[in-house]
Amino acid sequence: MATRASAGAAEAGANLPFLYRHHDKDALKEALYKMHLIRLFEEGAEESYMRGLIHGTMHLSIGQEASAVGICLPLTDDDQITSTHRGHGHSIAKGADVARMFAEFFGKTTGYCRGRGGSMHIADVSKGNLGANGIVGGGIPIAVGAALSAKQLKNCKVVVCFFGDGANNEGAFHEALNMAAIWKLPVVFVCENNQYGMSTSAERSTAVKDIAERAAAYSMPGVIVNGNVLSDVAEASHQAVQRARAGEGPTLIESKTYRYRGHSKSDRNRYRTKDEIEDWMTNRDPIALYEAELKALGIFGQDEIDVVRAAAAKEIAAGIEFAKESPSPETTDLEQYVYTEPA
């Protein structure tokens, strides 16, 4: 059976939730900064799309900020992640530069993928982000392969594999979890259950009530966590990463969360009610919950929070400017990067 991580409340003998016992003020501020940076990035990307500066489509993760930041909190720059089509937040949480992300979305040569990948393939290999993926479940076996490398090269790296509730019904999910378990690989599977695979609810698509239950089939711990509570996510990730690094094998974390925007830019939100969306935005917003906690615990006042948010907004504005001013690739370079160029 899947276990439920402590619901943010104090544990026996400790008055503070996990996050505040394990991280200093600077780290807490950094986490808040990154959550704001993700939200503002998504809003900036959405606005740029509306203004015709970004083409194609994109999948926004507004509402899922605590999940991305909390999971990446215990990771080092050497640890690796694989991400999903809804991967902007993961990328920022793992340390990517938003200017180069915007440049990628604008199709510019200064982008992380030199304009060849766009939103759906955003990556930052220098910080261990092996890339978002346009195929649902496509990154799951790749994460297991990266974890196999870590084990064989004995480099102590841990790999975090993000995917959504939709991916848990792909064959790749089951094949990959089984292999990670039989080989005891240092990988943490993170299912961000935002409740809908495009329009189809997890309830309609998935035979188990909680996706974390599926961990039992692969003899690994399955942990359910409130994905909108930063401390709870960070605690679950901390334990799973520790377990992986100690050579004890994989964990499946189900981070229950919600996306405010549609699946992509073509979504008319016909499969859920306005009330449902409104309820999540008003009562369970991850940034609001974190800020309330910071204030209640007397760690930051509203003034300090405002300063953090303003700094993030400034970085976003500068990033968009950088992207606008960057050069586009030449069509004569069309076939570049298909194969590795001879040294």
Partner 1 sequence: MVARLRELSYAQAIQEAMALAMEADERVFLMGEDIGVYGGAFQVTGDLVNRFGEERVMDTPISELGGAGVAVGAAVTGMRPIFEFQFSDFATLAMEQIVNQAAKMRFMLGGAVSVPVVMRFPAGSGTGAAAQHSQSLEAWLGHVPGLKVIQPATPHDAKGMLLAAIEDPDPVMIFEHKLLYKMKGSVPEGHYTVPIGKAEIRREGRYLTVVATSIMVHKALEAAKALEGEGIDVEVVDLRTVRPMDRETVIDSVKKTSRLLTVYEGVKTLGIGAEVSAMIAESDAFDFLDAPIVRLGGAETPIPYNPELERATVPQVPDIVAAARDLVRGAR
Question: For binding to partner 1 (CB under 8 A), which residues are involved?
Answer: 80, 82, 111-117, 121, 123, 125, 130-131, 133-135, 138, 140-150, 152-153, 171-172, 174-176, 178-179, 182, 336-340
Gap between the Cα atoms of 174 and 211, Å rounded: 12
Cβ proximity of 237 and 81 under 8 Å: no
Question: What is the helix (H) or strand (E) element at residue 235, kind and residue range?
Answer: helix 230-245
CA dihedral 248, 252, 255, 259 (to 10 degrees): 130
Closest CA to 173 of 199, 212, 223, 224: 212
- Judged by beta carbon, residue 218 or residue 258, the one nearer partner 1 is 218
If the CB atoms of residues 32 and 113 are measured against partner 1, the closer one turns out to be 113
Give the pair of three-digit tokens for residue 89. 């937040």
Nearer to partner 1, 135 or 156 (CB): 135
Residue 82 or 228 with smaller CB distance to partner 1: 82
The nearer residue to partner 1, 168 or 228, going by C-beta atoms, is 168
Q: How far is the CB of 125 from partner 1 (least distance, A)?
A: 5
**In this structure, what DSSP letter does residue 11 have?**
P
Minimum distance of partner 1 from residue 96's CB (angstroms): 12
* Shortest distance in whole angstroms from residue 128 CB to partner 1: 10
Shortest distance in whole angstroms from residue 171 CB to partner 1: 6
Q: Which two tokens stand for residue 76?
A: 């080092």
Q: How far is the CB of 117 from partner 1 (least distance, A)?
A: 4
Name beta bridge partners: 187. 159
Strand-pair partners of 196? 201
From CA 187, how far away is CA 57, in angstroms rounded?
Answer: 30
